Structure 1
Amino acid sequence: MTDQKNQNEVPRRKFVAFSAVGAAALLAGVPGSGSATAATDPVPPGPLPDPCAPAPPGSGAAPCPPAQFQPLCGRPTDDDPLWHDVQYCTQGIVPPPPQHKPDCLKVTTNYVVLHGRPETLHNYLLTPSCRITGIECPFLETSGVENYWNDAWENARSGGSVPVQYPNIGIGINSQTARRFDQLHLHMAGVRASTQRRLQELEMMGRMATQPSQWGAPANQVAISGPPGAGDRTYRALRLNSLGQNLFTLLYRNVVVPAGLDMARQTLIVVPKMTAAGFAGTFYVLNSDTSLHDGTSTCDYLLVYG
């Protein structure tokens, strides 16, 4: 499953009725999600109910969004094809016709790995076992959320459970407007050798942030070529030594909030640095949106599926 979709703006159906300010109020001061505002959505006394006990990323059962987040993060009764696939893999609920039973390549308490489309050895999807619509869900910026990016890397890397069989690997998520399915999913796919070379050149030139606080600076906006004939797109580039941090929180705090942007419009791509000896131990993290000159809200320019 790729996320090819009409790039025209779709109605912000959830944001109109339930603004980001209201979401911040629900977070009741959780770091990285704005300040609480009582004028729109009153904050209930005490902590928000949580259906699962918090756990460190990657260990045990990850918490799922509580009911208060459902206007932005989706409800378990939602009719989305990819969410139906997750429910089949985790609960055995057969998808409604004309949908077919998916191949559940890996099923854990926290996530499911599925084939992408077209079905190749370098096109997979990692999707939460929780109901989470996508990048616009403010629950993703809270503490205790499962580290889906690191999960995807541990599966996609050489020796992983569902390895991406391609010389260079990319992990990406599309914006709300660019995606096809409304269940959060990370694409685990290939990346062109030219993209890997370009990123290493930019690193040598000092053209990417080395601290998240620098990520949104104009000096770290770089042009990277997509498929032949597609031209360059502009990305904000960051280098990280690990995927141990919550990338959604880093993006929200260091790019989206300072620039007054919309989280729903962002795309995010991770490209592990590779050398002749293999994985070099660092990651290139790219973000873009259409507020940038030649920016994009889809990861599909850089990832190779077919």
Structure 2
Amino acid sequence: MNDQQNAKEFPRRQFVAVSGAVGAGTLLAGAAAMSGGTAVAASGVGDVTTPDACPTTPPPGGTGPCPPASLQGICGLPTDNDPLWHDVQYCTSGIVPPPPQPKPDCLKMTPNYIVLHGKPETTHNYLLLPSCRVTGIECPYLVTSGPPNYWHEAWETARSGGDVPVQYPNIGLGINSQGARRFNQLHIHMAGVRASTQRRLQELESQGRMATSPSQWGNPANQAAVTGSAGDRVYRILRLPNLRENLFGLLNTNVVRPNSLSMANQTMIVVPKMTATGFAGAFYVLNSDTSIHDGTSTCDYLLVYS
């Protein structure tokens, strides 16, 4: 689903009881302080797999509890009426969406997340959504150690050989800011990126123009322009060897808080590094917002949906 048009919040809807997980008080204290694989080579193999109701190997990160009740004002209420939340409820609990919203195709289901088609519906446009009620990137719970590692799971799902492979020469994973998205259930886009984006990122890497550790991510020296569907936009670029760490937490700790920014305004795009032989064992993590010159708060300029 292309979020590029800025739309106001749609109301949302019900699901999952919140967990009063151990350590919630500590997590809330931190949250309050913040408020003010082998992949991508286009594989002609593999249609989308049938829904998988069995849990896979637990992802790195948390065990998948939902945001605590005290964060529902920011992270969404179980009684909310957002279309994507209706889709999640249908796939997890069989609750039929209200008319005229159609029933979604539940392409993959696990205890922690589901996978759906994006719009337009192509073989390189999918969405990964938490099975818990989480509005989006602004939810403070995402930067704690509690949630599953949704980025890692998106890559494992979308890569060549994954359960719902993105069939495009290069893969991109992305999330929009609160103001740039159309729907208000957290969703990571699993889509294509242009070959020119891949080349540009490898060129910047060879020039040493990107961070190689999270602590360098917010340094203006690691900002660079990348051309997308709306011309050149500037991104903060970090190279990581894997997606084992919580990217939301890394962004908050190393970029947002040191610069007195808001998580709600951030976009993130993950581009696996590819060579002629396939996945090169590294990921480019791009972040931007409108606080930087020629910055953007949407991932839609770099991702290819149709």
TM-score for the superposition, normalised by structure 2: 0.85
Shift of 1:33: 4.2
Aligned to 2:107: 105
Verify the 8 A CA contact 2:60 2:244 in the aligned structure 1: no
- Aligned twin of 2:283: 283
Quote how far apart the aligned CAs of 1:216 are. 0.4
Instruction: Specify whether residues 296 and 36 from structure 1 end up closer, same or farther in structure 2 by C-alpha distance, changes over 3 A only.
Output: closer
Give, in whole Å, the separation in 2 of the partners of 1:118 and 1:240: 30
Give the residue type in structure 2 aligned to 1:251: L
Q: Deviations over 1:81-132 (max 9, x none)?
A: 0000000000000000110000000011000000000000000000000000
Following TM superposition, the consecutive aligned residue runs of length 4 or more in structure 1 with deviations greater than 6 angstroms are none
Listed as ranges, the gaps of 5+ residues in structure 2 are: 10-23, 37-56
Cα-to-partner distance string for 1:239-261 (whole Å, 9 max, x where unaligned): 00000000000000000000000
Match of 1:304 in 2: 304
Name which of 118, 121, 137 aligns with 2:120: 118
Looking at structure 2, the residues matched to 101 and 92 of structure 1 have their Cα atoms a distance apart, in angstroms, of 10
**Alpha-carbon distance, 1:66 to partner:** 1.1
Structure 2 residue corresponding to 1:181, chosen from 164, 180, 183? 183
The alignment's C-alpha RMSD in Å is: 2.3
| 2: CA distance, partners of 1:177 / 1:101 | 26
Q: Give the whole-Å Cα distance in 2 for the aligned partners of 1:60 and 1:174.
A: 22
Q: Which residue of 1 aligns with 2:87?
A: 85
Please give the alpha-carbon distance, in whole angstroms, between the structure 2 residues aligned to 1:112 and 1:258: 33
Task: Give the CA deviation at 1:205.
Answer: 0.2
* Structure-1 separation of matches of 2:210 and 2:29: 26
Q: Which amino acid is 2:228 matched to?
A: G
Q: How does 1:224-243 map to 2 (within 5 A)?
A: 224-227=226-229, 230-243=230-243
Change (3 A) 1:32 1:238: farther
Q: Secondary structure at the match of 1:153?
A: helix
1:254 is aligned with what amino acid?
Answer: N
Shift of 1:62: 1.0
Q: How does 1:126-137 map to 2 (within 5 A)?
A: 126-137=128-139
SS of residue matched to 1:28: helix
The letter of the residue matching 2:272 is: P
Question: Structure 2 CA distance, aligned partners of 1:204 and 1:34?
Answer: 40
- Could you list the runs of 5+ residues in structure 1 that have no partner in the other structure? 12-25, 41-54
How many residues were matched structurally? 273
Q: Distance in 2 between matches of 1:208 and 1:147?
A: 23
Deviation at 1:5, TM superposition (A): 1.8
